Structure 1
Amino acid sequence: MARILLAEDDDSLRSFLARALERAGHEVVSCADGDAAVGALDEGPYDLLLTDIVMPGADGIEVAREAGARQPDLRIMFITGFAAVALTAAQTAPQAKVLSKPVHLRDLVAEVERMVAA
């Protein structure tokens, strides 16, 4: 079981992602925006940060930078619907995984399992 910090501003997607990950046996701390995610870092440590990139407040890249500074071994996975933003994320955190929206819950859970096992 992994402890996952989830940051996603779309309420329904955040709910679907959290439920799928919880059903797979993970503990999920969900945040509705980047600022809330940065605040939730104090509740760590986490095994994985799963964050949208484009969000109100701190964007996902800022959240990943702050999370990495506080917990250098944290695994990071970005989800985004914007290809250009995905490239920026990959350059910012080369060890991170970037998934494009729409993402199938089955595929997301499988990627999370791979990252946590690595």
Structure 2
Amino acid sequence: MATAIPTDVETLIENIRIEQFWWDGVQIKIPFHCVYACIPNPVADEWKLINGVKVPLIRVDKYLIPLWDPFHQNMSEMPKLAVVISHHKGNQFGLFAYPADHIDEHIMLSYDEWFETQSSFQ
């Protein structure tokens, strides 16, 4: 006997949830599965010059997370929010964060719609 996939699970298979936030007047969209956490009122534990860019570092448990301006500008003050993004290369895991002024409601897109918005796939 065939079992139907529940609608809420099927939606996750056919679509991708996109988190949307704003920084410096520009909307940034990130797939939900890449967002590790959102930190309100982040506090820099230290500041570091990385590749010529002033970057605040946020300590969360054992992680020291760089807060990168997505436009590669120096950060001079802390944002209202830090959107922590997870990434990996091979079996190595890492975290970085983007600053945000405001977080919008998420949206659902088909994978085709999402790929159309990505310049690296065109």
Larger Rg: 2
Greater relative contact order (CA < 8 Å, ≥ 6 in sequence): 2
Q: TM-score, normalised by structure 2?
A: 0.22
Higher helix share: 1
Higher strand share: 2
